[in-house]
Amino acid sequence: MTEILTADPTGIAHAAELLRAGVLVAFGTETVYGLGADATDTRAVAAIFAAKDRPHFNPLICHYADAEAAFAQVAANPTARLLAGALWPGPLSLVLPRRADCPVALLAGAGLDTLAVRVPAHATALALLRAVGRPVAAPSANRSGQISPTTARHVLDGLAGRIAAVLDSGPCPVGVESTVLDLCGARPLLLRPGGVTVEAIEALVGPVGRGIPHTVAEAARTLRSPGLLVSHYAPDAPVRLDADAVRADEALLAFGPKLQGAGAEFQLSASSDLAEAAANLFIGLRALDAQVARLKLSAIAVMPVPEHGLGLAINDRLRRAAAPRAGAG
Ligand code: TXA
Ligand code: MG
């Protein structure tokens, strides 16, 4: 049985005890629910991969209560300090070299000499991290290849019976995962668009590499971020992008003034607000996936979302949801 813990001091203390004892606890962050384990405990980290059925080569993000705790374990450069000062706590993960004495299990970083670290902007998550007093490795709390959970209910849908507890802090306000930024090379490299926009990062530190790598070293860094598996955020139903019309046998994921005639629909944001759409994205995909199965529809049709700001992260997740299904994600 998976225990549901209330996000009050008692629940948080209990969740911290469980984590310190080496078992798995899912907890809410501002982005999505994470499946947490004591990052310094290799067996606990291994249990994450088992619970998720996740390929072992995928490195995990380590969560800290503050930048000081994070930078004691990875080597921060001036760019990292500047970004952390401005954007932490927040939905930004920084990939930096592990320090020689870094206590995080190698398995958490999939054997890489770098580690993705972040400080979540979420009161319950921060209280939990302070109570644990150790880095907490946490991928999104879903089975591998499935949609990231943004409520405790979603966590249980995928992981009930496989984890000790979920700390229920309500729906996640941001709704898409953190931006992953590699700071190990000459210029920052975007490995995954997410909750902090590239525009916000570039306003602070100048140009960020994305898309086509400039150098062989950058290509290598991009390739070894295997979270970039193309088919990753996959509902069961086929997903059709950039719909400018919708059929009665399709479920519509709408953005802004909606198309008429769908067999089912979910509105990401009636007012075309990208932050609202991001917060609703995974809830909408899950809801429509269930409708497609229940009403025997053929696909989820997705209206276009603009490719700027948080739209970058939303479109990235939607393209993965629509990609031909590979093995694992
Ligand atoms: O918002 C989030 O980031 C959530 C919450 C729980 O914090 N976590 C999350 O973790 O989305 P996960 O494991 O689902 O995604 C981690 C991403 C993957 O794309 C992974 O490949 C990349 O970060 N990553 C982690 N460590 C890395 C490293 N050392 N080098 C390159 N990429 C790394
Ligand atoms: Mg994930």
Closest ligand, as measured to the CA of 192: 1
> What pLDDT is recorded for position 328?
37
302 in helix, strand or coil?
Answer: strand
Instruction: Give me the amino acid identity at 70.
Output: A
Asked whether the predicted pLDDT for residue 231 surpasses 60, the reply is: no
* Closest ligand 1 atom to 120 CA: 7
Nearest-CA residue for ligand 1 atom 10 is 139
Domains of the chain (ranges; CATH) run 3-222 (3.90.870.10), 239-322 (3.40.50.11030)
> What pLDDT is recorded for position 49?
85
CA of 258 to the centre of ligand 1 (A): 33
> What pLDDT is recorded for position 106?
85
Q: Residue 124: CB within 6 Å of ligand 1?
A: no
Nearest Cα neighbor of 59 from 176, 217, 221 is 221
Predicted TM-score (pTM) of the model is 0.85
Q: Residue 178: CB within 6 Å of ligand 1?
A: yes
Lowest mean pLDDT among 82-91, 110-119, 226-235: 226-235
The CA-atom distances, in angstroms, between 236 and each of 50, 75, 233, 305, 327 are 22, 41, 10, 21, 14
pLDDT tens digits for 306-326?
A: 998 889 888 988 998 898 765
Euclidean distance between CA atoms 235 and 216, whole angstroms: 34
* Closest ligand 1 atom to 35 CA: 6
Closest ligand, as measured to the CA of 111: 1
